[in-house]
Structure 1
Amino acid sequence: MGRLFGTDGVRGVANADLTAEMALGLSVAAAHVLAEAGTFAGHRATAVVGRDPRASGEFLEAAVVAGLASSGVDVLLVGVLPTPAVAYLTGVLGADLGVMLSASHNAMPDNGLKFLARGGHKLDDELEDRIEKIYDEHRTGAPWDRPTGSGVGRVRHYNEGFDQYVAHLIGVLPNRLDGLKIVLDEAHGAAARVSPEAFSRAGAEVITIGADPNGLNINDGCGSTHLGLLKAAVVEHGADFGIAHDGDADRCLAVDHTGEEVDGDQIMAVIALAMRERSALRSDTVVATVMSNLGFKLAMEREGLTLVQTAVGDRYVLEEMKEHGYALGGEQSGHVIILDHATTGDGTLTGLMLAARVADTGRTLKDLASVMTRLPQVLINVPDVDRTRVGTSADLAAAVAEAERELGSTGRVLLRPSGTEPLVRVMVEAADIDQARSVAGRLADAVKSALG
């Protein structure tokens, strides 16, 4: 069996790849790894458990609760809340671990299991490996050490979490949003109640779409992966701009008043300048991945800010931020981490901070986002090749070097093996879209020839 944990927990088709038995077993294993210190410290370990509104989350939540309580962990059920809300509550309630059931932006048949360590932080590889090791030992027959009698965990609903999280979001805003009309696309997901409530309390006039989850419609033609409805709604209602979340609301993308997309790079650029004005951007540095548009890097350099780039994945952005004490980081996809106020990407917080900047300056989002110009970017997936030889093929290295010479300082090439599929991603940026397509096509052919 391959490694269960991917870049963001365990994810797959619910009741096929991710079964109730697996959710129960992984939760027992996580309790042994993450709650051990709390138990030895002389108190009953506690877990915060939340989920997005997927139908499968109902039975998977029951399995997770059974696993945790049978391991002697008390469980606080916070219900349907965004991933960053579960992370926040795990930290503020002093819980030993948190569990979020969500497949984020994936379609409804999928679901996922994400564990959080004490403080609401994502797990590093070492902790995930320990959980998986214990889980595998149980699957092959090793018995659990099971408490009995008063040693079993207790389960209760924690309904205060909604208001606590919303109050936290409002409390960290630098200014109110009075006078703004904003369309919110909630992707029929975990933020369907939280996000409109937070924006309304902050003073904005709110119009919602995608805010009627029924367990089956999450991310279905709406949210941050399908911006068409939001673009149309912003223009139709004459709104100042729109905000789109994904299923678990750890992402935020935006649409300006003309219906044009504002991506994660542009959002980070706007927030970075706002934070610098408030002396909140430590070391005048922003952290992003290598997939960020070259236009973002050029804009940060022009504004006198430093850009640090990491491997693809918000966990690597977060690791870099925590190690060096940086305050802002994120991905082009809309995962934005404001570390002073969140331990993970928080789409509602990001949207609120973006709106606060618009309200404070009186400028349109379109004008604010123009601080950077996105260079044309072409991405081609090359399937059925040996992705392990991307870094060792001399022929491929020569093709990349030739492409880089052609593009010069106004373009960029990135070849990245997929972490889950037998394919290589070819990304090319250039000042001209036709040049980007031409270079990307030649490099894709080179990948097929060298690695096929």
Structure 2
Amino acid sequence: MSPVKIKFGTDGWRAIIAQEYTVDNVKRVAEGTALWLKQQGGTRVVIGYDCRFAGKLFSETTARVLGKHGITSLVAPGFISTPMVSLGVVKTGADLGVVITASHNPPSYNGYKLKSKLGGPSVPADVSAVEDLIPDAVPTDLPSYAELKEKGLVEEHDFEQIYLDHVHQGFDIDLIRNSGIGIAYDAMYGAGQSAMKKLLPNATHLHCEVNPGFDGQAPEPIGRNLKEMAATIKNDPNLALGIANDGDADRIGLFDGDGEFVDSHHILLLLLMYQYEYKGIKTGEVILTFSVTDKLKQLAEMYGLEYEVTKIGFKYIAEIMAEREVIVGGEESGGLAVSGHIPERDGIWIGLMIAEYMAKSGKSLKELVADLYAKVGSFNCDRDDVHVENDRKWEIVKQAKEAPFSKIGPYTVTRVAHVDGSKFYLDGEDRWLMVRPSGTEPVLRVYAQGADPAEVRKILDAGREEMKI
């Protein structure tokens, strides 16, 4: 049987455990990683794993392959978040980071992410180079993990503590703790649970235990996956902020004091407001992926800041952050980054920044959003993930690009943009429908922006009807 061709998607290689995600295939990917690293003259790699099934096994497997090539693996004593690996690479001066995670994918998946020595996702060119070096044959005659420890080719570092020290330097944690703001935190059974218990011991902690099955739900911090968090906040008048992270704690979802979900579009705008108006950061660029609200461009223009729109995938933002000064960068799916930290999305860091904004301003999250609307106008965004056969998925994507719709329901298409998928502006610039394929699943992502949730639903339904999905 011919070996599986291993392809890295939008954010690493992901596959179903025991189907394509096997010990043998992890060995092959690790071999490609080792060969590439040796070409670069690299000798040290930080390896971390989250709370998914067999993370430790796959992490140790990776270390054994690297160790065969004389490469030292720097490992944590237990699970850690993706940002802890990225920061760990920077703080230890390592040459690369490897994270065994499938991020927000369903529990049946695991994955393998590459992190650059700059502390963010490896650039697409480097990922492609590793991919090209993945052999068909499974590496054999590997040293044991115990043997590598004895030889000093496996070193243990407390990457969580390194991260916590960095957080204490970046934030006024005492101000947040003593502000009287009641915080609920939902780890979604993910890798943020231990750090957040230490940072915010008095918060209400939900799903902060290890459960590799994630209670049967994909650990993606979006409104429909966080009903227990919403109910918890609604039923407790003392709770004013809800923070949720995904499986490897690099993404975020927020709730206001009424238990209403606050999406990434709004968080990005709030981060820009906080840094510009309260922290006095007046220089730098705003970087957003194609699916993010255009209101972020509007606010950047109001502040006299340059902005750039990239393809979907945080790696494109990280590439720019590594070279230029960026105040805020982010994607619609909850991956957000800010100046003063590594060029990496970090769900814990962003959650703390919003909590600090509330503490410093003395305003509720709802009041901060109202301040935002006063500047750019109110808006709402949502997305449908539609399961379709791959052939049909690509057919729709091709149609949207080559023969774009002129009308979507009652709306006239006034402009079409193609960057990564296709965005149809409807009756002006304030409402739009966008369609793009998932990079990792047989899913078509359909996005919309409108004035309020009812209009967004109307646009999504009209778009799906037009595409017959």
Q: For the superposition of Structure 1 and Structure 2, which TM-score range results when normalised by the shorter chain?
A: 0.7 to 0.9
Following the alignment from structure 2 to structure 1, what is the Cα–Cα distance between the partners of residues 383 and 191?
A: 32
Give the Å deviation of 1:236. 3.2
Partner of 2:171: 173
Return closer, same or farther for 1:229/1:300 CA change in 2, 3 Å cut-off.
Answer: farther
Residue 199 of structure 2 is matched in structure 1 by 198
Query: Partner of 1:240: helix, strand, or coil?
Result: strand
Q: Which amino acid aligns with 1:166?
A: L
Report the equivalent of 2:422: none
Per the TM alignment, residue 307 of structure 1 is displaced from its structure 2 partner at its CA by 4.2
Contact 2:48 2:99 in 1 (8 A): yes
- Structure-2 separation of matches of 1:240 and 1:420: 36
Provide Cα deviations, 1:154-180, integer angstroms capped at 9, x if missing partner.
344524322111010111115631223
CA distance in 2, matches of 1:432, 1:352: 28
What CA distance in whole angstroms lies between the structure 1 residues aligned with 2:216 and 2:196?
16
- Indicate the RMSD between aligned Cα atoms, in angstroms: 3.2
Which residue pairs with 1:254 in the alignment? 254
* Equivalent in the alignment of 1:340: 340
Matches within 5 A, 1:39-188: 45-78=43-76, 79-136=78-135, 138=137, 154-156=152-154, 158-173=156-171, 176-177=175-176, 178-179=178-179, 180-188=181-189
**Percent identity of paired positions between Structure 1 and Structure 2:** 25
Secondary structure, in 3 states, of the residue corresponding to 1:357?
helix
SS at match of 1:286: strand
Partner of 2:239: 239
Change (3 A) 1:117 1:31: farther
Q: CA deviation at 1:115?
A: 1.7
Q: Which amino acid aligns with 1:213?
A: V
Residue aligning to 2:357: 357
Q: TM-score, normalised by structure 1?
A: 0.85
State the distance in 1 between where 2:45 and 2:383 align: 43
Distance of aligned partners of 1:289 and 1:173 in 2 relative to their CA distance in 1, 3 Å threshold: same
Aligned equivalent of 2:33: 30
Query: Is the 8 Å Cα contact of residues 385 and 443 (structure 2) preserved in structure 1?
Result: no
Structure 1's 302 and 339: CA in aligned 2 closer, same or farther, altered over 3 A? closer
Q: 2:74–2:157: 8 Å Cα contact kept in structure 1?
A: no
**One-letter amino acid matched to 2:351:** G
Give the superposition deviation at 1:420.
4.5
How many angstroms apart in 2 are the aligned matches of 1:191 and 1:218?
A: 17
State the secondary structure of the residue aligned to 1:81. Answer: coil
Q: Say if 1:420 and 1:207 are closer, same or farther in 2 by CA, change over 3 A.
A: closer
Q: Are the counterparts in 2 of residues 281 and 326 from structure 1 also a CA contact under 8 Å?
A: no
2:44 and 2:94 in contact (8 A); partners too: yes
Secondary structure, in 3 states, of the residue corresponding to 2:316?
helix
Residue matched to 1:314:
314
Instruction: Give the whole-Å Cα distance in 2 for the aligned partners of 1:432 and 1:263.
Output: 13
Report the secondary structure of 1:248's partner residue. Answer: coil
Tell me whether 1:389 sits opposite 2:398 in the alignment.
yes
- Preserved CA contact (<8 Å) 1:375 1:431: yes
Aligned partner letter, 1:76 = L
Q: Classify the secondary structure of the residue corresponding to 1:270.
A: helix
- Give the distance between the partners of 1:134 and 1:145, measured in 2 at CA: 18
1:411 is aligned to 2:431: yes
8 Å Cα contact 2:382-2:456 kept in structure 1: yes
Q: Alpha-carbon deviation of 1:76? A: 1.7
CA separation in 2, counterparts of 1:257 and 1:432?
19
The offset of 1:374, in angstroms, is 2.6
Contact kept? 1:192, 1:212, Cα under 8 Å: yes
Deviation of 1:379 (Å): 4.2
* Paired residue secondary structure (2:343): coil
Residue 116 of structure 1 deviates from its aligned partner by 1.7
Amino acid in structure 1 at the alignment position of 2:431: G
Is the contact made by 1:94 and 1:119 (CA closer than 8 Å) also made in structure 2? Answer: no
Unaligned 5+ segments in structure 2 are: 416-425
Q: TM-score, normalised by structure 2?
A: 0.82
**More deviation, 155-164/399-408:** 399-408
Of 177, 187, 211, 1:214 maps to 211
Aligned equivalents of 1:159, 1:68: Cα separation in 2? 17
Give the match for residue 421 of structure 2. none
How much does 1:112 deviate? Answer: 0.7
Q: 1:320 to 1:156 in 2, by over 3 A?
A: closer
Amino acid at match of 1:189: G
Partner Cα separation in structure 2 for residue 389 and residue 223 of structure 1 = 28
Could you report, residue by residue, the CA deviation over 1:156-214 in whole angstroms, capped at 9, with x for unpaired residues? 452432211101011111563122321111111111101221234xxxx3221110113
The equivalent of 1:42 in structure 2 is none
1:361-402: CA deviation from partner (whole Å, max 9, x where unpaired) = 1111111122143335464748325145246533x3544794
Post-superposition CA distance 1:101-126 (Å, at most 9, x none): 11111222211111223233322222
Q: Give the secondary-structure state (helix, strand or coil) at the position aligned to 1:403.
A: strand
1:228 alignment partner in structure 2: 227
Bigger Cα displacement from structure 2, 30-39 vs 331-340: 30-39
Judging changes above 3 Å, is the alpha-carbon distance between structure 1 residues 423 and 273 closer, same or farther for their aligned structure 2 residues?
closer
Alpha-carbon separation, structure 2, partners of 1:255 and 1:291: 21
Alpha-carbon distance in structure 2 between the residues aligned to 1:121 and 1:438: 38
